[in-house]
Structure 1
Amino acid sequence: ARAEPSAGHYRLDAVRAHLLERAGEREAARAAYRAAADGTLSEPEARYLRARAERLGP
């Protein structure tokens, strides 16, 4: 868990999540999408990233 979201850092998590998803690493991708959602200050973006995580399963 991050104490303070740093500008742009969540994008690294989002890209990592996308690449992990493409590689078939669903659990790791889900965690990375959630980390990205936690790191953004944009609520619409956070909702999108959480939705991506949710579609990968529980």
Structure 2
Amino acid sequence: MESFEFVKSSYSDDQADSECVEVATNVAGTVAVRDSKQGDGPVIRVTATAWADFAAAQAG
């Protein structure tokens, strides 16, 4: 089973009540995303390609 190593997104705000996500990229070919306020909550997993497309769309 994968063991994701989550880090807070650089796009997340530092305020405690803000909307924040954590992202894990340590599993080959997979990007995992979760709500930083629900560390034991659900995890969304996408391919690294899908995540790159998403990030590019958000930047542009």
Say which one has the larger Rg. 2
What range describes the TM-score normalised by the shorter chain of this pair?
A: 0.3 to 0.5
**Structure with bigger RCO (C-alpha 8 Å, 6+ apart):** 1
TM-score scaled by structure 1? 0.34
TM-score scaled by structure 2? 0.33
Structure (1 or 2) with the greater strand fraction? 2
Structure (1 or 2) with the greater helix fraction? 1
